[in-house]
Amino acid sequence: MAHHRPRIVLLCGMLGITKCLGWEYFKGVRPMLERMGFDVVVLQLPWGQSIERRAGFLADQLKNGSVPFHIIAHSMGGVDARYYITRLGGHKKVASLTTLATPHHGSTAADHEMQTWYSPYRHLPSVSSLTRIAMQQFNDRTPNHRDVTYRSYSAARRINKLPWLMRRFGRLIEENEGENDSQVSVASAQWGEHLGTLKADHFELIGMNIWLNPFSRRPRFDHLPVYRDIAVWIAQYEATRT
C-alpha cells in the first residue's frame, strides 16, 4: 500500500505573488514542510479581487487532487478559505484551516483607505471586502463548518518596531482596535482556537523583512518555527485518522 503524504495548501494574501525575481512568499516554508513529509501546494489568488471571486478561483484550483488537505493561510487568504469551505463546498475536502494575521473582523486600515478619496487602494474590491462593517456582514453569512477545525495566530509589534512605511497604519489600528502588526489587529486575527500572538509584523510572518532602518535594530523574528509547529499538529491530526 502506498504511503499517504498529508497535503498542505499555502494561501497568499491580497497582494501576494508566489515568486518574483528570487523572492518568494512563505520564504523557505515549502521545502521545510516537504522535508517533514508533506505534499505542499502554494497558491496565489487573483490580486486585489473580492473574497467571493478569490474563493471561486481557489475552488477551481482545488477541484482535483488528494483529500482531505490542510490550509495554512496568510492575511486575506484566510477569509478566502473560509468562504470556500462554507459557501463553495470546501468542507468536503478541507480538514483544517490555520490562519496567520487574517483580518477576520476587518481592519481599520481598510476603513481608512476606503474613506480616503485619493487612495488608489479604495478602488480594489479586496480592500472594500475587508472593512470592519463588510467583515461583520461576511461573518454573519459565513459561519464555521462543523466538519472543519479552525485555528489562528495573531501578530503584533510595538509601533516603533514596525517598518516606518507601515507605522501610520499601525497607529490608526492601535487607536481603534489595539495592538497590531501594521495591517491587522490581534483582536481581528483571532478565529477558532487562537494559538497565540507572534512578535512580528504582518510581513515577517511570511519571511519578508521590510524594516529598512539603518539607524535602529529590532529583534529578529524567525517565521519557520511557526509553520513547523503547525505541521507537527497536522501530522498528529492525521495520525489519529489512520
pLDDT tens-place string over residues 66-76:
779 999 999 99
Does 2 have pLDDT greater than 50? no
Asked if 164 and 215 count as a contact pair (C-beta separation under 8 A), the reply is no
Per-residue pLDDT tens for 136-160?
Answer: 999 999 999 999 999 999 999 999 9
Taking the C-alpha atoms of residue 186 and residue 119, their distance in angstroms, rounded to an integer, is 25
Q: By three-state DSSP, how is residue 39 classified?
A: strand
CATH class of the structural domain 7-241: alpha beta
Per-residue pLDDT tens for 180-193?
Answer: 999 999 999 999 99
Q: By three-state DSSP, how is residue 190 classified?
A: coil
| Residue 231: CA count within 13 A, CB half-sphere | 23
Taking the C-alpha atoms of residue 9 and residue 124, their distance in angstroms, rounded to an integer, is 25
Give the E-state strand segments of the chain in sequence order: 7-11, 19-20, 23-24, 39-43, 69-74, 94-100, 149-155, 193-198
- What is the model's pLDDT at position 224? 98
Domain chopping of the chain, boundaries: 7-241
Task: Give me the mean pLDDT over the 78-97 stretch.
Answer: 97
Does 173 have pLDDT greater than 50? yes
Task: Give me the mean pLDDT over the 110-118 stretch.
Answer: 95
Buried/exposed code over 170-194 (b: 16+ C-beta within 10 A; e: otherwise)? bebbbeebebbbbbbbbebbbbbee
- What is the model's pLDDT at position 1? 35
Q: Which of residues 20 and 129 earns the better pLDDT score?
A: 129
Taking the C-alpha atoms of residue 156 and residue 44, their distance in angstroms, rounded to an integer, is 25
23 Cβ neighbours under 8 A, 6+ residues apart: 208
| Residue 218: CA count within 13 A, CB half-sphere | 19
> Which three three-digit cell numbers place residue 146?
462543523
Closest CA to 46 of 37, 38, 55: 55
> Which three three-digit cell numbers place residue 242?
489512520
Q: By three-state DSSP, how is residue 58 classified?
A: helix
Per-residue pLDDT tens for 6-64?
Answer: 999 999 999 767 776 567 999 999 999 999 999 999 998 999 999 999 999 999 999 98
Other CB atoms within 10 Å distance of the CB of residue 240: 6
Taking the C-alpha atoms of residue 1 and residue 135, their distance in angstroms, rounded to an integer, is 45
Q: Which residue has the cell 484551516?
A: 97
- What is the model's pLDDT at position 4? 72
CA dihedral 75, 76, 82, 87 (to 10 degrees): -170
Per-residue pLDDT tens for 181-234?
Answer: 999 999 999 999 999 999 999 999 999 998 888 788 899 999 999 999 999 999
